[in-house]
């Protein structure tokens, strides 16, 4: 039965004509991400058997402890994308600055830049909880054959040409969009091939799950506190179920399938929230909107926010459309 399913490679070729710019380069780029994901998946799945769990002893640009697998995944994705000569620049959550690829080569006609969170939720690795990779792809805005600049990366989310994630869990899935819906592919580890398992993924308009770190409740804005109390209230189809894994990819993936909202608001200890606009919020917002969901900072559509820095943080509310609109109501009532 599995062998009759369409492979990711077949799907990419079949749908290449629907890409906004049909040159084959974007298809090769997604294939490169697929390859790097398979390599990282192999390492994640043997993490308990080799010396690759725990911290690497360094901190990243955000001041967070880097896990050994963070460093490994970051190196593998950059190495794969660089060696295949497909992109002109890469920005990673784990790097202080963007990486220019063949920036001095006037013959370099590569059009795309990639922004990536190589291993989202990596602090969960030690306890065998699902983690993931998030990626976002843009066309460069500076002239071909010139070095990439920060301008190529500081684009609004509504300029993305593709985005997706890989979730390394009980099964490994690659989920992505090029602006024509969201499709999910499950890895068959026996032969190393991704098969189309979740075509045309959609958020239910309403959901019964809310995902938020309630340990920070006391620090949340009053509107968010009121919304959480609303979720817990005995009325109609409520109370909702609280589910929070602490890995954005895993929480988002579950909520898209079952219906729910993911929240990481600003709070008194972090006035801009915690999640990064370019590596986490924009790609997830693109996926959410392509899957009939919604993503907001509480006031504004995430993909309309003008980025001002590479590692910019924003509050993030994402998921089933009616749930996101309801939390916006509560937030705006108090602000």
What is the number of other CB atoms lying within 10 angstroms of the CB of residue 62? 12
CA distance 202 to 210: 17
Binding residue ranges for Mg(2+): 93, 117, 119-120, 280
CA distance 120 to 250: 9
Dihedral of alpha carbons 225, 231, 232, 234, sign: positive
* DSSP-H helix ranges across the chain: 8-15, 25-45, 68-83, 150-153, 222-232, 248-258, 282-290, 321-334
Binding residue ranges: 93, 117, 119-123, 213, 244, 274, 280
- The residue written with tokens 């065998």 in the block is 128
- The residue written with tokens 């690829």 in the block is 101
**SS3 of residue 60 by DSSP:** coil
Question: Hey, which residues does 319 pair with through a beta bridge?
Answer: 261, 294
Q: How many CA atoms lie within 13 A of 296 on its CB side?
A: 19
CA distance 186 to 44: 16
Binding residue ranges for substrate: 120-123, 213, 244, 274
SS3 track for 238-289:
ECCEECCCCCHHHHHHHHHHHCEEEEECCECCECCCCCEHHHHHHHHHHHHH
Token reading at 155: 């684009």
């Amino acid at each position: 039965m599995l062998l009759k399913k369409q492979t990711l490679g077949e799907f990419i070729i079949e749908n290449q004509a629907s890409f906004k710019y049909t040159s084959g380069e974007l298809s090769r780029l997604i294939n490169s991400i697929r390859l790097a994901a398979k390599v990282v998946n192999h390492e994640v799945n043997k993490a308990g058997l080799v010396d690759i769990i725990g911290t690497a002893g360094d901190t990243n640009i955000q001041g967070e402890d880097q896990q050994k697998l963070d460093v490994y995944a970051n190196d593998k994705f950059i190495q794969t994308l660089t060696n295949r000569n497909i992109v002109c620049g890469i920005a990673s959550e784990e790097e202080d600055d963007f990486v220019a690829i063949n920036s001095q080569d006037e013959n370099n006609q590569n059009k795309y830049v990639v922004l990536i969170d190589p291993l989202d939720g990596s602090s969960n690795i030690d306890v065998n909880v699902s983690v993931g990779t998030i990626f976002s792809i843009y066309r460069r805005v500076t002239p071909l054959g010139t070095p990439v600049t920060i301008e190529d990366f500081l684009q609004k989310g509504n300029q993305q040409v593709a985005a997706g994630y890989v979730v390394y869990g009980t099964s490994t899935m690659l989920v992505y969009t090029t602006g024509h819906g969201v499709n999910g592919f499950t890895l068959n580890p026996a032969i190393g091939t991704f098969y189309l398992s979740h075509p045309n993924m959609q958020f239910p308009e309403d959901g019964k799950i809310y995902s938020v770190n309630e340990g920070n409740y006391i620090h949340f804005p009053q509107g968010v506190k009121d919304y959480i109390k609303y979720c817990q209230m005995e009325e109609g189809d409520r109370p909702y179920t609280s589910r929070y894994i602490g890995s954005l990819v895993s929480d988002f993936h579950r909520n898209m399938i079952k219906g729910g909202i993911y929240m990481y608001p600003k709070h008194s200890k972090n006035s801009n929230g915690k999640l990064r606009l370019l590596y986490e919020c924009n790609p997830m917002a693109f996926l959410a909107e392509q899957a009939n969901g919604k993503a907001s900072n509480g006031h504004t559509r995430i993909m309309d926010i003008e980025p001002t820095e590479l590692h910019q943080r924003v509050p993030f509310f994402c998921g089933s459309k009616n749930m996101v609109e309801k939390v916006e109501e509560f937030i705006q009532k108090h602000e």
